[in-house]
């Protein structure tokens, strides 16, 4: 078996090499998957892609023509893959859905604390030998209301962390978690109520047609003046222009994001010294109450190791004609009756 890894980052390659327990033939390239790079997959039956790669309909057709029959996503999100087209072509797709909810949730907390206590400004200030604190006043997290949109694995970890700070916790999700309600006092409410009541709102949803631009001018208008917004989910869940408007008029007090709706081709690359041709991103980066990180929330040793192991386990399942619980192209009726293979994590 030959596996081509698109969009390989220098920090993840050692974890992928270490997790190749069965010594498959693997090739790493830095280029992202696109219509222009699909021909690099000639001779490979399997490719592995990342969140920023383009696996749209036309690209999948090109991969299929080149002999690709399996795609292993090294991420939880799969909004960049046309699953319907993949199913039509007979290309099996699997993701890595539970690599480390702690990594993402802890990064969200880091953004909250850094924004609230103005850590970036304080660091710059003291390096200029300015030790005043007049512009560094924050607020206690204790007794503040935190709204969590999307209370899955990651959102659930955030509930536990923020409970430790003594916060009141509101959740919005299509399913309720009984344990989180009983043990941590999580209150499930509808989205407008969450927006009205929360001092801090953290986004942890996947990107679907129903969640695209779910945070927009209308919902922002319901939020408390000075609200803190955090997004470590998907950039497309936020209408960035509406967020900028809220920041400019003071309705949004601060904004922390590890993702951005137009991040493809920007995040994960070094653009030092180059002109940034994105007015919205330039505006965000110029605002003192905005903290942006380059999609790094997943980048912990534990998460990278788990992603690598899961990626190769998914590949081995397909190679041996076994069903993986992470397969995304499986029909619903088949998933309900499937006897999933459980590869042992080595």
Sign of CA dihedral 163, 260, 218, 114: positive
Reply yes or no on whether 17 is catalytic: no
Catalytic residue chosen out of the listed positions 234, 245, 248, 316: 234
11-19, long-range: CB within 8 Å, 24+ apart, which pairs?
11/299, 11/304, 12/74, 12/304, 12/307, 12/308, 15/304, 15/305, 15/307, 15/308, 16/308, 16/311, 16/312, 18/305, 18/308, 19/305, 19/308, 19/309, 19/311, 19/312
Choose, from 12, 74, 261, 263, the residue flagged as catalytic.
Answer: 263
Residue with tokens 């978690």: 177
196 is catalytic: no
Contact 171, 188 (CB under 8 A): yes
How many CA atoms, within 13 angstroms, populate the side-chain half-sphere of residue 242? Answer: 17
Distance, C-alpha 79 to centroid of its chain = 11
> Mapping DSSP to helix (H, G, I), strand (E, B) and coil, where does residue 287 land?
coil
Other beta carbons within 10 Å of 154: 27
Active site amino acids: 234, 263
């Amino acid at each position: 078996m030959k596996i081509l890894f698109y969009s390989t980052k220098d920090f993840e390659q050692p974890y992928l090499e270490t997790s190749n327990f069965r010594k498959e033939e693997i090739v790493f390239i830095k280029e992202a998957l696109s219509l222009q790079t699909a021909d690099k997959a000639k001779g490979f039956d399997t490719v592995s892609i990342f969140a920023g790669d383009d696996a749209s309909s036309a690209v999948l057709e090109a991969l299929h023509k080149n002999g690709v029959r399996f795609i292993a996503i090294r991420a939880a999100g799969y909004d960049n893959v046309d699953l319907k087209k993949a199913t039509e072509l007979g290309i099996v797709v699997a993701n890595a859905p539970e690599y480390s909810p702690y990594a993402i949730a802890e990064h969200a907390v880091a953004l909250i604390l850094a924004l609230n206590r103005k850590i970036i400004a304080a660091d710059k200030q003291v390096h200029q030998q300015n030790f005043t604190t007049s512009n560094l006043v924050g607020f206690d997290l204790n007794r503040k209301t935190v709204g969590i949109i999307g209370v899955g694995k990651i959102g659930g970890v955030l509930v536990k962390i923020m409970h430790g700070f003594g916060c009141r916790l509101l959740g919005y999700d299509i399913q309720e978690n009984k344990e989180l309600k009983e043990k941590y006092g999580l209150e499930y409410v509808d989205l407008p109520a969450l927006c009205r009541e929360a001092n801090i709102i953290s986004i942890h949803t996947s990107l679907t047609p129903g969640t695209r631009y779910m945070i927009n001018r209308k919902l922002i208008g319901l939020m408390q003046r000075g609200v803190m917004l955090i997004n470590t989910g998907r950039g497309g869940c936020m209408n960035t222009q509406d967020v900028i408007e809220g920041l400019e008029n003071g309705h949004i007090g601060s904004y922390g994001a590890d993702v951005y709706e137009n991040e493809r081709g920007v995040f994960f690359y070094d653009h030092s010294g180059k002109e940034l041709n994105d007015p919205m991103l330039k505006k965000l980066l110029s605002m003192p109450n905005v903290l942006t990180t380059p999609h790094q929330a997943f980048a912990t040793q534990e998460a990278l190791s788990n992603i690598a192991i899961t990626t190769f386990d998914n590949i081995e399942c397909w190679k041996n004609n076994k069903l993986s619980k992470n397969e995304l192209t499986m029909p619903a009726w088949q998933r309900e009756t499937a006897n999933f293979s459980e590869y042992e994590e080595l």
